[in-house]
Amino acid sequence: MAQTSLQKIFSGYLKGGKLFLSKDALATSYDPSTITHRDKQMDLVASILAPCLRNEKPSNAFVYGKTGTGKTLCVRHVIGELAKTAKENSVQIKTVFINCKMKKIADTEYRVLAQLCKEFGYDVPPTGLPTNRLYEIFYESLDSQKQNVLLVLDEIDALVTKVGDNILYNLTRVNQDLENAKLTLIGVTNDLSFSETLDPRVKSSLNEEEIVFPPYNALELRDILNERAKLTFIAGGVKDGVIQKCAALAAQEHGDARRALDLLRVAGEIAERNGEQFLDEVHVDKAQEKINVDRVLETVRTQPRQSQAILWAIANNQNPNQTTGETYEKYKEVCKKRGLEVLGPRRASDLISELGMLGILSVHTTSKGRHGRTKEISLLISKHTTENIKETLKKDFYFE
């Protein structure tokens, strides 16, 4: 029985019209040959980094812009072109990209340094050495040959929030001790007020140049989508209005191009799965809903058990506006039933705040006068998504 239904799916898939030419152009990793609506920013990055080609040290720079505004893509693109030109002219340039949000890879001072050492061919243990020793290894390897090193720290705000700006202070000072190499830092962040939080000494040396990437507007997003859609879908596969709708929805979410491309891809996949010949606006609506649910479910799945227990307690409480104390009591019951260890109220309060930061809960601190000060907690997701979460926690993690 199951076999025939599987075969039905496969033969239906084969018989159905082919909608996609290739999905590559909608992938996050795709590097287009030309980047639309970012000429000004790319020129600026290029002119800042150009001194490399004369073996001079470029200024350190900060790149600001919200998610999906093309910061990382443009920086990578410019550096790629720079490396090509350097190679043609026999100039020695090394570029290192580090994403500071990569958990367990580059989210602490030690790990960033370990990653840097690795880039220069020195394998250091994932933990154990004093940080000073790592700095020494890094400086030695960096200075081992005459070269201009461009170090791009993507999502630099995540690193500084977590471990402070000590590491940036040390990295901006490193050139004083180098004889052969020159190190240039390029910080990429989506927090526009990030530099305000830095130590003034770090700020002045790191913030020598600033490039701001404004959000894309709906028209710009439409151009980007049109270009990518041509490479992705068969001619005539996308109905009128689809691109506009994706662009408009993404423009509402602070002009996020990544979001727009995701919408288009998921909409295409939904249409293809239904065996349809065209992609229309209904598929975009479905894609929007699916992306939202998937995002939340993925977040919930990857949370630690204790956070899941708290979420379970909140999702199963009839009261739409719960307090910290109330939530904590329910959470204790859940732990008892599930045989989990019960965390202290202090830690539980932090976990509730973290769920708030993830956009799953709405958490507001309010004062109820005589009745104290507390957090007001409610679910920030739709009823449909909440049911999905409950189902997932029940099925995958045996909550009941």
Partner DNA sequence: AGTCCACAGGAAGGGCAGGCGA
Partner DNA sequence: TCGCCTGCCCTTCCTGTGGACT
At residue 42, what are phi and psi to the nearest 5 degrees?
A: -70, -40
Which position among 306, 308, 385, 386 is part of the footprint of DNA (CB under 7 A)? Answer: 306
Strand ranges across the sheet with 373-379 = 322-323, 373-379, 361-367
Q: Is 301 in the site for DNA (CB under 7 A)?
A: no
Q: Which amino acid is at 316?
A: N
CB 149 within 8 A of CB 185: no
Interface pattern 247-286 for DNA (x via CB under 7 A): ----------------------------------------
Q: Which of 241, 290, 284, 268 is nearest to 25 (CA)?
A: 268
Which position among 38, 71, 283, 375 is part of the footprint of DNA (CB under 7 A)? Answer: 375
Q: Is 357 in the site for DNA (CB under 7 A)?
A: no
Question: What is the chain's percent helix, strand, coil content, to nearest 5?
Answer: 55, 15, 30
For DNA, the closer CB: 64 or 328: 328
As given in the structure block, the two tokens for residue 37 are 């609506």
Residue ranges of the alpha helices (H) in 193-304? Answer: 200-206, 218-232, 242-252, 257-273, 281-301
For DNA, the closer CB: 60 or 324: 324
Q: How far is the CB of 399 from DNA (least distance, A)?
A: 17
Q: How far is the CB of 308 from DNA (least distance, A)?
A: 12
Which position among 219, 304, 359, 387 is part of the footprint of DNA (CB under 7 A)? Answer: 304
Q: Is 109 in the site for DNA (CB under 7 A)?
A: yes
What gap in Å lies between CA 388 and CA 293, rounded to an integer? Answer: 8
What gap in Å lies between CA 200 and CA 184, rounded to an integer? Answer: 18
Which position among 54, 371, 383, 395 is part of the footprint of DNA (CB under 7 A)? Answer: 371
Core vs surface per residue 204-237: b (16+ CB within 10 A) or e:
ebbbebebebebbebebbbebbeebbeebbeeeb
Q: How far is the CB of 173 from DNA (least distance, A)?
A: 18
Q: How far is the CB of 97 from DNA (least distance, A)?
A: 20
Q: Is 140 in the site for DNA (CB under 7 A)?
A: no
CB 142 within 8 A of CB 49: no
For DNA, the closer CB: 242 or 377: 377
Radius of gyration of the chain (CA): 25
For DNA, the closer CB: 54 or 370: 370
Instruction: From 57-65, 90-98, 223-231, 350-358, give the range in contact with DNA by CB under 7 A.
Output: 350-358
Name 265's Cβ contacts closer than 8 Å, sequence gap at least 6.
23, 26, 232
Q: Is 374 in the site for DNA (CB under 7 A)?
A: yes
Q: Is 115 in the site for DNA (CB under 7 A)?
A: no
Q: How far is the CB of 335 from DNA (least distance, A)?
A: 11
**Size of site (CB under 7 A) for DNA:** 41
Residues that bind DNA (CB under 7 A): 104, 107-111, 125-131, 163, 304, 306, 323-326, 342-347, 349-350, 352-353, 365-375
